[in-house]
Amino acid sequence: MGRDSYTRRRMLASAGAEGIVAGFTVATLPQLFTAFLNGDYSFRVFGGFATQITTGIVGQTLQKVLGEPLTAEKLSNANLGPFTTRYHWNQYDNEINSAFVESYTDAYGVVPDLFSSGTFTASSALVQAVEASGSTASADISAELRGMVVADTPKGADGYSFQEYNNQARSQMTIAELTVNDEANWNAAIRPSAPVTAVDAEQTTIPSDASEMDCTL
């Protein structure tokens, strides 16, 4: 995020652009948020809560720019959010998630994040495929996974499905506000609030008959 990028964003804003799509990596994420927070923009930033690492980086950047301690008022005035979240420990209230969060926290001292829950779901799907097929052969497991509805997930019973037309996993997503973290086992200055609303699984992926659908695995 150098001066050229900043200049381009200012030009777009002056030209009346209704939105800017910004790409980033873990390395450039702090510069992206710093440039926005320090700029005089009429835009509001929307994005997605992801891993603890990226949420931690955003939290550190907010602390540096807005000052410590972070407060609800500072976040409210920063034009940030709401954000989508594919999984965070505080978004789902069910027995599986409660047991998962408790056991993971006991083992590692932190609550699980997106990658942790994804590993849980993948393992659950494999167990389900082996039990359903009665086989550990790769072809048999693959056949069971195609179109599978995964029964046991941190998002609850039948929380994920594998689309038959491209084998991509599909699940509900939530939308949450940005809030100051008060959870000792989440190593970031910010976290998602309780869910504001949810996006149905059918709306989170590209339909099979859409012109944009060209991904097959």
Whether the pLDDT of residue 10 is over 90: the answer is no
Please give the model's pTM, rounded to 2 decimal places.
0.81
Mean pLDDT of 23-43: 79
Mean pLDDT of 7-29: 69
97: closest CA among 161, 169, 156, 52? 156
The partner residues of 162 in beta bridges, in order of sequence, read 169
CB 170 within 8 A of CB 204: yes
CB 192 within 8 A of CB 90: yes
216: closest CA among 144, 145, 165? 165
* Cα distance between residue 78 and residue 38, in whole Å: 10
Instruction: Convert the pLDDT of each residue in 61-104 to its tens digit.
Output: 999 999 999 999 999 999 888 999 999 999 999 999 999 999 99
DSSP string covering 108-134, please?
Answer: HSS---HHHHHHHHHHHHHHHHHHHHT
- Helix runs in the chain, H state only: 3-14, 29-38, 52-66, 72-76, 95-108, 114-133, 138-145
How large is the C-alpha radius of gyration of the chain? Answer: 20
Sorting pLDDT into bands at 50, 70 and 90, what band is 9? low
Confidence at residue 117, expressed as pLDDT on a 0 to 100 scale? 96
How far is residue 30 CA from its own chain's centroid? 18
Sorting pLDDT into bands at 50, 70 and 90, what band is 5? low
* Cα distance between residue 176 and residue 85, in whole Å: 7
* Cα distance between residue 42 and residue 171, in whole Å: 33
Instruction: Convert the pLDDT of each residue in 123-158 to its tens digit.
Output: 999 999 999 999 999 999 999 999 999 999 999 999
Confidence at residue 1, expressed as pLDDT on a 0 to 100 scale? 43
CATH class of 95-170: alpha beta
DSSP code of residue 73: H
Confidence at residue 68, expressed as pLDDT on a 0 to 100 scale? 94
Burial class of 19 by CB neighbour count within 10 A (0 to 12, 13 to 18, 19+): exposed
Q: Where are the domains of the chain?
A: 3-90+171-202, 95-170
Amino acid residing at 48: G
Instruction: Convert the pLDDT of each residue in 175-217 to its tens digit.
Output: 999 999 999 999 999 999 999 999 999 888 888 777 776 766 5
CB 179 within 8 A of CB 191: yes
CB 20 within 8 A of CB 6: no
Counting residues of the chain whose pLDDT is more than 90, the rounded percentage is: 61
